[in-house]
Amino acid sequence: MDLHPTEDQRMLADAARRFLADRHPLAVARAAAGKPHEARLAQWREIAGQGWPALLAPAEQDGLGLGMREAWIVAEAAGRHLLSLPLAANMVLLPTLCAADAMGPAARWAAAVMTGDAYFADVVMRPDGSAFIEGAGEGVRALSARRMSATALRLELLAPAPGSAGLDPTMPVARVVRPQVLDSIDLEVAPGTWERLRTRLRLLRSAELLGAASAVLEMAAAHARERRQFDRAIGANQAIKHRLAEDWMALDDASLAGVAAVAAHDAGAASAERDSLFAPLLAVEASRRAAQNAIQVHGALGVTWECDAHLYLKRVLRLAASLQAEVSRAELLERIWESGDGRLAA
């Protein structure tokens, strides 16, 4: 399996970084929680104009018909620029919406996302019936997907909830004790659809996590080259340069594991399910350490509002918590261990 990017994939990576650097700089991310719905929707229209929400949707249903390898590239760029919209969740769910009845509400929801007329906040339903919503805001409806059986999913459209700054001020969130369901549909799906949805979302969250951690590592390395103490750059000290080098290697290992996982996913390889376990495990550990070390390299400056490093730290901590809340480190290790002889835990 060739893990080297194709020319088209390199062009996609360059285009994504240029677009986000121009249209979603860190100043925009800082103001995300207080931004009105119209401004956020205008950003979504620009992103939809790039075709990113429809990247995984089939071409015969107006999508781009690309694979997880391309989605990984876009999600990583989104993390690098602290995109304040729930792009990964919409990308993952859109193919399922497109596969629904062409005359039903799911198809209309899909069309609105692809044309840029709407996007859906991401929902995590809690055992007590409450909902935790990422990307919340006035006028932003949330879409929840639940597994009802091996071949059935239930999609619930929730009423908008005001968003506020949580742990990560660049992504407005909301916690709704009793969410109001505006519409609900049950979909008959192929066996394994639910597992594929969750795996795709974990992989794209891992890509976003690695993008944010790589950006803050580069920021820390630049600071270490420029900040001088005792008439020399602090990066000349082994305690700093070795730590930064170790963080770079850990992030590179996690990135390679993620690229291998999405390549196996696209190829339908027998190892795809097992490969997908390594990416979130390595990404969480490497990204969290790299972001925390970046704050240490910046010293007292790193925790100030003026320094962008702390924004990346909070994005990394939020994504890491999201990944571990769904599948803990201990569970990932157990499933990797049990898959050593070709079997996966149920």
Confidence of residue 270 (pLDDT cuts 50, 70, 90): confident
Whether the pLDDT of residue 61 is over 90: the answer is no
Percent of the chain, pLDDT > 70?
A: 97
SS3 11: helix
Count CB-CB contacts under 10 A for residue 60.
8
β-pair type (131-134, 173-176): antiparallel
The pLDDT, as a whole number, for residue 102 is 61
The pLDDT, as a whole number, for residue 103 is 62
* Beta-bridge partner residues of 251: none
Q: Contact at 8 Å (CB) between 113 and 122? A: no
Q: How many Å apart are CA 331 and CA 289, to the nearest integer?
A: 20
DSSP for 269-317?
A: -TTHHHHHHHHHHHHHHHHHHHHHHHHHHHGGGGGSTT-THHHHHHHHH
Q: How many Å apart are CA 103 and CA 100, to the nearest integer?
A: 9
Q: How many Å apart are CA 288 and CA 91, to the nearest integer?
A: 25
Q: Which DSSP symbol is given to 6?
A: P
The pLDDT, as a whole number, for residue 56 is 95
Whether the pLDDT of residue 195 is over 80: the answer is yes
Q: How many Å apart are CA 313 and CA 292, to the nearest integer?
A: 7
- The closest of 163, 168, 69 to 121, measured between CA atoms, is 163
Q: How many Å apart are CA 67 and CA 1, to the nearest integer?
A: 15
- The closest of 187, 323, 332 to 273, measured between CA atoms, is 332
Q: State mean pLDDT over 262-278.
A: 91
Confidence of residue 231 (pLDDT cuts 50, 70, 90): confident
Q: How many Å apart are CA 162 and CA 83, to the nearest integer?
A: 19
- The closest of 159, 139, 131, 132 to 40, measured between CA atoms, is 139
β-pair type (142-149, 121-125): parallel
Q: How many Å apart are CA 175 and CA 275, to the nearest integer?
A: 33
Tokens of 183: 């519409």
The pLDDT, as a whole number, for residue 304 is 87
Whether the pLDDT of residue 70 is over 80: the answer is yes
Confidence of residue 346 (pLDDT cuts 50, 70, 90): very low
Q: How many Å apart are CA 60 and CA 67, to the nearest integer?
A: 15
Q: Contact at 8 Å (CB) between 265 and 272? A: yes
Q: CA 242 → CA 93, 245, 246, distances in Å?
A: 41, 5, 6
Q: Is the pTM of this model over 0.85?
A: yes
The pLDDT, as a whole number, for residue 343 is 43
What pLDDT, in 10s, does the model give residues 78-95? Answer: 999 999 999 999 999 999
What pLDDT, in 10s, does the model give residues 289-298? Answer: 999 999 999 9
Laid out side by side, the sheet with 131-134 consists of 173-176, 131-134, 121-125, 142-149, 152-158, 181-188
The pLDDT, as a whole number, for residue 303 is 84
Q: State mean pLDDT over 170-198.
A: 92
Summary mean pLDDT of the chain = 91
Q: State mean pLDDT over 124-136.
A: 91
Q: State mean pLDDT over 319-345.
A: 80
SS3 227: coil
297 φ, ψ (degrees, to nearest 5): -65, -40
Whether the pLDDT of residue 206 is over 70: the answer is yes
* Residue with token string 């929400």: 53
Rg (CA), the chain: 20
Whether the pLDDT of residue 253 is over 90: the answer is yes
Whether the pLDDT of residue 271 is over 90: the answer is no
